[in-house]
Amino acid sequence: MSKQTYRVCFCFQRRFKLAVKEAPPEIKALFDQYSENGIMTADHFQRFLTEVQKEENATKEEAQALIEQSLAELKHLNIFHRKVLDLEAFFKYLFGDINPPNSPSLGVHHDMNAPLSHYFIYTGHNSYLTGNQLSSDCSDVPIIQALHRGVRVIELDIWPNSNKDDVEVLHGGTLTTPVQLIKCLKSIKEHAFVASEYPVVITLEDHLTPDLQTKVAKMVTETFGEVLFSPGSECLKEFPSPASLKKRIIISTKPPQEYREAKDALQSESDPKSGKTPADEEAWGKEVPDAKVAIAVDDKHNELDEEDSNEEEDVDNGGSKSVAPEYKRLIAIHAGKPKGGLVECLKVDPNKVRRLSLSEQQLEKAIVTYGKEIVRFTQRNILRVYPKGIRVDSSNYNPMIGWSHGAQMVAFNMQGYGRSLWLMQGMFRANGRCGYVKKPDFLLKSGPHNEVFDPKCDLPVKQTLKVKVYMGEGWYYDFKHTHFDAYSPPDFYARVGIAGVAADSVMKKTKTLEDDWIPAWNEEFEFPLTVPELAVLRIEVHEYDMSEKDDFGGQTCLPVSELRRGIRAVPLHSQKGEKYKSVKLLMHFDFV
């Protein structure tokens, strides 16, 4: 008899029956090992924490506190006045919210006193769009949502309104409906530091005339006041640190033409009639006055072109070579592409720092020849990578290419979803979710002969991550009972793997368990890692469907650098990255 027929015959008998939640045999054996006569005392539990959970510094007092926390969720238990665990309470602890895969006590634990260029920064692209890149509404709502998730770089494309007397935010050359700039600025001010106290960078792609730039300068300075950070009109010699810029807003853009007239005069042979160099034909932005938030006017390409060119979009300033001085003063991080192609772009100036933007396609081409030069550039300077223009559905790309070359601002469409965005969310679960993750030392330092990290180099295995997937639960409570199958319990399988440098990236899969709301796979996987510092653990659950696409059952991504060893409860999230109320996996992590 086929499985399909079996289901039809027995559907009424077993339709929504939920199996009794029971500890797997290995968990029962551990309880027996660390208990006596069915009872686990604080002394037993402390030994379990140090030997199995690898919490070497766990005290008896901490063990007792965890016992009482676990028992508090099992109100029907009152064993010896809530001072010890039985098997049910022990299992409840392991599968509970108080036993996450990363330590909640870590908080912000990276050194936050290094220059901004030493950090990966949670970066948004076209942050004002509610959906696709061509016809969705522009709004401050996705900006607020991004800030609440810890995003630290917000991008705004600013254009004159139809009367040319005010400034709107929209994706130029598309059918996106605009939102007023002032509304976006006010929302940024209100929500910038809800999730993190570390600086917010506003990148502006500027399409304004000088008079409207003056108006923007007034808006920005009046909205942010003392929160805005501006170091003056000259390039910084070194970027300040996230710690020194707490609760401040920062601005970055290409220097206005006025700044460059002296330089242009020396280079006028490239275009004697205009007095401009090809670099001056690139899009450029302007500055913003004193305050403690960082704004960056973006020098990106016309993103609707199927092929990104090396020329950046020309800003419509009416042909004027003057720039509103109030606006110029707002620039904190200078951006732009020097004349001479990528070689000149990647030159490191010991006397100043700047920001360079490349599309994902340009980066992929550049790393073939200039991988090490990009790493060297990003040790002092900031590299921003943005999605190619043909991603009109607001999809994203593999962020690991940028991160493994030191790119700080890997800009993503936060309004979409998919595996790339899950990976981005996973990376920034590190360091207390503050939006800044310190880059590994090998991306920041040069060797004795001035050599830098080569992302293409074959490296030896540095560490092996062992992952065991015991079981999962919670779908019965978080999904409609007919969501996966109309007549029987779901057929779940788990996918576990690594996103990292090419040599480390892999996905593996458990067997599919039929007809079980609480699947117990009990399968172990090993992941040899050559660059564990950049590795992110990917976890997904799907429900096998014989005739259609498999159903999605949850996902999460976790930075390997912050995984806690031992048996942990791993909460899963929806496709949009929202944490489920009940769905989680019981897993074991270890490093060898």
Instruction: Give the start-to-end residue ranges of the domains of the chain.
Output: 19-94, 118-255+283-443, 463-591
State pLDDT tens for residues 40-64. Answer: 999 999 999 999 999 999 999 999 9
Q: Which residues are catalytic?
A: 125, 171
2-29 mean pLDDT: 57
Task: pLDDT band for 546, please (50, 70, 90 cuts).
Answer: confident
Residue 319, C-beta contacts closer than 8 angstroms, at least 6 positions apart:
none
Q: Does domain 19-94 have CATH number 1.10.12?
A: no
Q: Do domains 19-94 and 463-591 have the same CATH topology?
A: no
Q: Residue 557 region, left (φ>0) first, then alpha (ψ -120 to 50), else beta? A: beta
Token representation of residue 140: 């401050």
Q: Which one-letter amino acid corresponds to residue 199? A: P
% of the chain exceeding 90 in pLDDT: 69
Check: CB of residue 423 under 8 Å from CB of residue 499. Answer: yes
Buried b (16+ CB within 10 A) or exposed e, 268-278: eeeeeeeebbb
DSSP assignment letter at 83: T
State pLDDT tens for residues 282-301. Answer: 322 233 333 345 555 554 44
- Alpha carbons 190 and 229: distance in angstroms, whole number: 17
- Residue 486 has a pLDDT of 84
Burial class of residue 402 (count of CB atoms within 10 Å of its CB; 0-12, 13-18, 19+): buried
Q: Which CATH architecture has domain 118-255+283-443?
A: Alpha-Beta Barrel (3.20)
Nearest to 294 by CA among 88, 116, 482, 83: 116
- Alpha carbons 551 and 541: distance in angstroms, whole number: 9
Instruction: Say which residue, 263 or 105, is predicted with more confidence.
Output: 105
Burial class of residue 162 (count of CB atoms within 10 Å of its CB; 0-12, 13-18, 19+): exposed
The topology under which CATH files domain 463-591 is Immunoglobulin-like (2.60.40)
State pLDDT tens for residues 294-325. Answer: 555 554 444 333 333 333 433 333 334 466 78
404-426 mean pLDDT: 95
State pLDDT tens for residues 482-501. Answer: 999 888 999 999 999 999 99
pTM of the entire predicted model:
0.86
175-198 mean pLDDT: 96
Q: Residue 471: pLDDT above 90?
A: yes
Q: Residue 416: pLDDT above 60?
A: yes
State pLDDT tens for residues 71-89. Answer: 887 665 554 456 899 999 9
Q: Residue 268: pLDDT above 90?
A: no
Task: pLDDT band for 20, please (50, 70, 90 cuts).
Answer: very low
Q: Residue 272: pLDDT above 70?
A: no
Q: Which phi and psi (to 5°) does residue 202 adopt?
A: -105, 115
| Cα atoms found within 13 Å of the Cα of residue 41, Cβ hemisphere only | 3
% of the chain exceeding 70 in pLDDT: 83
Q: Which phi and psi (to 5°) does residue 358 adopt?
A: -135, 145
381-408 mean pLDDT: 95
Gyration radius of the chain's alpha carbons: 27
421-432 mean pLDDT: 97
- Residue 145 has a pLDDT of 96
